[in-house]
Amino acid sequence: FKNGRTPILVATSVAARGLDISNVKHVINFDLPTDIDEYVHRIGRTGRAGMLGQATSFFNEKNRNIATDLLDIL
């Protein structure tokens, strides 16, 4: 992944905390975290140093606890 040959990275939220990879342009949350701070940390992997980035998150009925917080920050 780091050498640019494979543009897709799959990792758990635990691994994401220790990663510092430049040029991440898109973060996909297949499973939303349980709290808003973790969500912000995850999507913070994209768009660093003034660059633009995107985040896509899949949402289901199990994620209702974070929905209000997400609406507040979006």
Q: What is the pTM of this model?
A: 0.74
End-to-end CA, the chain: 30
How much is the average pLDDT of 7-33?
75
How much is the average pLDDT of 2-24?
71
User: Residue 7 — very low, low, confident or very high, per pLDDT cuts 50/70/90?
Assistant: low
Give the start-to-end residue ranges of the domains of the chain.
13-73
Which residues, 6+ apart, have CB-to-CB distance to 24 below 8 Å? 9, 45, 46, 48, 53
* Confidence check: pLDDT of 74 > 70: yes
| 27-43 confidence digits (pLDDT tens) | 888 888 888 888 888 88
Q: For the domain 13-73, what is the CATH code?
A: 3.40.50.300
On whether the CB atoms of residues 66 and 33 are closer than 8 A, the answer is yes
pLDDT at residue 18, rounded to an integer: 67
